[in-house]
Amino acid sequence: MLEQTIEQLIAAAMDSLKNSYAPYSNYNVAAAVLMDSGNIYTGVNVENASYPNGICAERNAIFSAVAAGERKALAIAIVGGKNGEVTDYCTPCGMCRQTLREFCNPADMIVVSARSQDDYRWMTLEELLPESFGPEDLLNY
């Protein structure tokens, strides 16, 4: 089951990569996130001439899910590369890791970095963001 889900997420991310807007870095990234409803949402990086105004693919995907009323992510696949050619594993930046943390159980959330449909690696968000800060840390305040 896990392998089939990962393949679906990679396929969705690969299909979205062509929509990335990266005219400044020429580093295109796409992501597909699986929510607990079973729905998959995609996102791409979108750069801006005013650099801080851009957004990463992972946050774009999770924000699309949240805008649709979703709240719990189970897995995400990320693909990316220079000029849209996926040649290496693409992992989420720190800001994306923290954003994902808001909407998942980090011990269960699977983060997949893929070079192709059958060449990927995965780990949990907890492994990528150990000792993270999340919503439950604010319960006593």
**Residues known to be catalytic:** 58
* Helix (H), strand (E) at residue 80: strand 73-82
Alpha-carbon gap, residue 136 to 129, rounded angstroms: 16
To the nearest 10°, report the CA torsion of 78, 19, 47, 132. -20
To the nearest 10°, report the CA torsion of 52, 54, 60, 64. 100
Asked if 47 and 25 count as a contact pair (C-beta separation under 8 A), the reply is yes
